[in-house]
Chains A and B, each alone.
Chain A
């Protein structure tokens, strides 16, 4: 190899290493440095299409949206309107077909799977309709699981998990397995799990879908208190706008992959 070529190679290596370092370290802080007027979440012309056999189905069409830090946003719409797709994009569980998606300092859509996982660990707490607790684990173990995945030391994660369960009022049930808990309790455990890593963004996909109306409204009130007391950004996807009407800062309605209305 000629010396000039060798220098060129070395230079490009240094440059790429520096770029990698800056990228890795630019996303180190869990909470983004918020600047005034800078939205926490920004979706610009986001589309998501799926191939279903020979045909292509558009789940989201040219959706644009900004959400500020600390907002409580409800996304409503009928089945197939694209609500869950939008939530999955925000959680980096899915990638947009086109458009730009920014959450805090993270630019989603182009992340490597390992970076996506890291984004979810640091930025997002997820709550599901089916609760999705691991049946073989106790409530405490379920809540501590994100910290296990993040490599947190066992004594620290135990303290944090108990603290998180206490916040949802289930400290005394921490040694119970999901099958020994009611639906509402299971969802509260799921909320405790979503909160345990202290993420700035809480995403709830039909969190009341498997609960009776009384328990469902308790869960929504719990999410509201988390939003108000802890200043977290909460996005709830639901079939039932009336459930969240009293709490949400904004209610966005999706219809056939586009926003049709927004209130407040």
Chain B
């Protein structure tokens, strides 16, 4: 039998039992829609993370520390192989001083080397305040597109008392039109420890009776520019960018949690970490080698991201398994429908065999019917899943918008996901059709012709 005739015959047969075929299709649609929604959510999380990683050119970034990095340990933890050796590394630590960091810039393939300056602060304007994370960047970052302001200008000097932020930050500060904030002076509040107060309060702090005495510094800062929002949908919510020299001279504490303090060697001198931006990813092995030869510890963001991708993979697998179970239930529905079709059409199968149909033709006919249920259900299910994800995304983004947060692509549907889901739907539907198809092929024509 020709393949086109097989398809036509299979479609005719499915149309004969419209209600049953439709109910089976709905089952497949729900299964496929569930699989698409769950997997596109996983892909969305990964997509957003990758987008930020790429826009900040983190694949070109290295973090240099005097002692083994806490980030290194986190990534080791993620792969379930904690490097306990590094905890007891007794190599003399090399202090990360300004002069040492300056030498990194001379290594071939290094675009910029600068001390890691990152600290908590509070942004205040028009009576509102937001907790933020301040990150300092060198002037060389003016070349990275993610730092090109969409409104305003990049810093003119490393000592500029200026900052850059995402438009969403401005909106959350109450500026419905973020562009109006550019050029204005706002307050960046930092904190430092009140040493005398600390001594007085020490006994009470030890027993948890009082808060740590802090000095609040209200720094006046000009908004130099607004950064592109699409490249940093998540980090843009908390991140404020300052030029390196200005950030360094600010009164501040440079840790976010006690873990930061605990990881630091009490006797260590110099900066906690330095950051090195490579001019090209290929420079990575050479630069790393030269830095490690100096007794420094190098953590690459690219390696960390690779570890994170493993976590994404685990998450994708977990979501995929849940979705696949839904599809599997639908597949049982297909098998059931096909079994009923074979039973109902026993006589017809007998007739087809009597007039020259062979076992292979009948087997293929039922497999094609089953496959059509899978593919049509798959295509419609993709449509349904797309609709569900758009609806959820619309609802979530509407809620986020009310809070000044930019639109997020919660669900990401790449082409490979569509192809993979359609192939899976086809594969499992064919699997579901095997048993009914074999049963149809093995029907004895004489017995079938005698059946009512």
Contacts and interface: CB of A to CB of B under 8 A. Distances in A.
Interface stretch (B305-313, B357-365, B418-426): B357-365
Given A93-B354, A153-B2, 12 more contacts: A93-B353, A93-B445, A114-B358, A116-B358, A117-B357, A120-B353, A120-B356, A132-B347, A145-B355, A148-B2, A149-B355, A197-B356
A121 interface: yes
A193 interface: yes
A247 interface: no
A149 B16 contact: no
A94 B448 CA distance: 13
Given A132-B347, A136-B16, A151-B1, A113 B355 contact: no
Contact of B358 (A118, A126, A130, A134): A118
State which size class the interface on A falls in: 20 to 34
Interface in B325-364: 347-348, 350-361
Interface residues of A: mostly helix, strand, loop or mixed? Answer: helix
A136 B12 contact: yes
B12 A149 contact: no
A29 B54 CA distance: 70
B352 A145 contact: yes
B435 to A, nearest CB: 19
A91 interface: yes
B446 interface: yes
B449 interface: yes
Contacts, number: 71
A118 B361 CA distance: 12
A134 B345 CA distance: 10
A136 B449 CA distance: 17
Interface string A105-137: 000000001101110111000101010101011
Interface string B1-21: 110110001001100100000
Which one of B350, B353, B358, B446 has the highest number of Cβ atoms from chain A below 10 Å of its Cβ?
Answer: B358
Interface of B is mostly: helix
B356 A149 contact: yes
Contacts of A148: 1-2, 5, 9
A114 B360 contact: yes
A95 B9 CA distance: 30
A150 B356 contact: yes
Contacts of A113: 358-359
Leading 4 A-B pairs by shortest Cβ distance: A121-B356, A117-B358, A132-B351, A149-B357
Contacts of B361: 117, 149
Nearest to A114: B358
Contacts of B360: 114
B354 A132 contact: yes
A88 interface: yes
A216 interface: no
A104 interface: no
A257 interface: no
Contacts of A194: 355
Contacts of A154: 4-5
Nearest to B350: A132
B355 A120 contact: yes
Contact of B355 (A114, A126, A136, A153): A126
A150 B359 CA distance: 13
Interface in B423-452: 445-446, 449
Contacts of A88: 446
Nearest to A205: B449
A184 interface: no
A149 B352 contact: yes
Contacts of B446: 88, 93-94
Interface string A142-173: 00011011110110000000000000000000
Contacts of B9: 148
Nearest to A116: B358
A162 B335 CA distance: 38
A208 B406 CA distance: 80
A114 B354 contact: no
Contacts of A151: 1-2, 5
Given A148-B1, A148-B9, A151-B1, A134 B355 contact: no
Interface in B239-260: none
A149 B2 CA distance: 8
A134 B348 contact: yes
Contact of B1 (A122, A128, A137, A149): A149
A93 to B, nearest CB: 5
Nearest to B360: A114
Contacts of B5: 148, 151, 154
Contacts of A193: 355
A157 to B, nearest CB: 9
Contact of B449 (A114, A132, A137): A132
25 contacts: A91-B354, A116-B358, A117-B353, A117-B357, A118-B356, A118-B358, A120-B354, A120-B355, A121-B355, A121-B356, A128-B354, A128-B449, A130-B449, A132-B350, A132-B449, A145-B352, A146-B356, A148-B2, A148-B5, A148-B9, A149-B1, A149-B356, A149-B357, A153-B2, A154-B4
A132 B450 CA distance: 11
Interface in B1-48: 1-2, 4-5, 9, 12-13, 16
Contacts of B449: 128, 130, 132
